[in-house]
Amino acid sequence: MHARPATLSDAPAGTAAARGAPPCAPPAAPLIAHIIYRLDVGGLENGVVNLINRIPAERYRHAIICLAGYSDFRRRIERGDVAIFDLDKPPGNSPIMHFKLWRLLRRLRPAIVHTRNLAALEAAFPAALAGVPVRIHGEHGRDVDDLDGTNAGRQRVRRLFKPFVHRYITVSRDLASYLEQKVDVAPSRIAQIYNGVNTDLFHPPQGAREFPGWPWPDGEEPFVIGTVGRMQEVKDQVTLASAFVSLMRQMPGAERRVRLAMIGEGPLRERAAGILAEGGVARFAWLPGNRNDVPRIMRGFDLFVLPSLAEGVSNTILEAMASGLPVVATAVGGNPELVEEGVTGTLVAPGDPEGMAAALRAYVENAELCRCQGLAALATIERRFGMDAMMNAYLEVYDDMLADAGAARADRRPA
């Protein structure tokens, strides 16, 4: 663990702000320790940052404990009082990491520990040993080696740590059903909260579309098929690349107006680029890697595509809908809970390039379909997926669990 936490100010969040303060100073807000595997670009991590930025400082303080490091993504945290700790976990099981975490939690004394996904679930055990009064675990998506939730080993691990978790939060009904049916978690211990989307950042273009840094010639107004996400196996961008090759071959005149933008970095980027080059369509595609202007880039898309093999609830789908885009997505995980077939987009089978190509062509050939479904997607975001709705739902869980913990402690006091 780093000797000094990385913070966005010089005041670590885990220390008692009242130390050295006048006796009449109000008590510090309760501290939430968010424990994740790594703080880097991703939907789960984006959700943590959005939540921290949104919750009023007088309600809760925050610290982020990373099992395996962090990147410059931490700079998206807007509050200056959030400490970020790195436990530098080695691969595999690590009793030393558990001890480091126990010692850190004893020092920080958080009111709540909130772990996320299987990679951080083991942290619930040292949190219990450290006497953290409220322990919450979030399920945000599937693992690449358990796309359909049938991996018996993963189920056993979740059952093993179940006694150390007070409440579960899932981002989709699909994941809530998994916990109930495969891990035997009582429904009363599960809260299902959809991710929210920042509509101040993600919104339709308010004038002419821009193509910042794109390779299209000036003055060209192409139909842009776009995707955003980490380029790794579970996101399956190679299927989208193959579908684009098929579309360009099948559709007359496509080379004059259809373009592909694949935003993100990872091991699949080179494979996707290879498929596009082999198919002779690389000059019609743009794969710039990670970008820090995704909201602006999305406003240049005509259609958003998510080819994932598994999902919890996709932040990028929500961001695309908030940008006024229709969505083509695979019918996996929480995607059918976001994309209403024939209303806000189209659902396709995972790993099916030809089926995806047919769906893409329907939008390229029908501007009215794009416009109507894009408007419906925007209306859905405004009605169901606002950032304040997400924040208030999390606050309700945090408040209720702290109140229950306080009542339980009061009941245990001797008369």
Using only C-alpha atoms, the chain has a radius of gyration, in whole angstroms, of 23
**pLDDT attached to residue 322:** 97
CATH code reported for the domain at 6-196+387-412 = 3.40.50.2000
pLDDT tens per residue, range 178-199: 999 999 999 999 999 998 998 9
Phi and psi at 148, nearest 5°, equal: -105, 5
pLDDT of residue 413: 57
Position 336 scores a pLDDT of 95
Rounded to two decimals, the pTM is 0.78
Q: Where in the chain is the domain with CATH 3.40.50.2000?
A: 6-196+387-412, 223-384
Distance (Å, whole) CA 346 – CA 377: 12
Q: What are the Cα distances from residue 156, in Å, to 121, 151, 153, 205, 395?
A: 12, 9, 5, 48, 30
Segment holding 180, helix H or strand E:
helix 173-182
DSSP designation for 68: S
Enter the tokens of residue 208: 């002419």
Q: SS3 of 268, please?
A: helix
Contacts of 233 (CB under 8 A, 6+ apart): 144, 267, 268, 309
**Under a CB-based contact definition with an 8 Å cutoff, are residues 327 and 363 in contact?**
no
| pLDDT value at residue 20 | 47
pLDDT attached to residue 4? 42
pLDDT of residue 14: 40
Structure tokens at 389: 């709705």
Pairing of strands 167-170, 345-348: unpaired
Q: Looking at residue 198, what DSSP letter applies?
A: -
pLDDT at 34: 98
User: In the numeric block, which tokens belong to residue 305?
Assistant: 């595509």
Ranges of residues in the chain whose predicted pLDDT is under 50 = 1, 3-4, 7-21
Which CATH fold topology does 223-384 show?
Answer: Rossmann fold (3.40.50)
**Nearest alpha-carbon partner for 327 in 210, 132, 197:** 197
Specify which residues 289 forms β-bridges with: 263
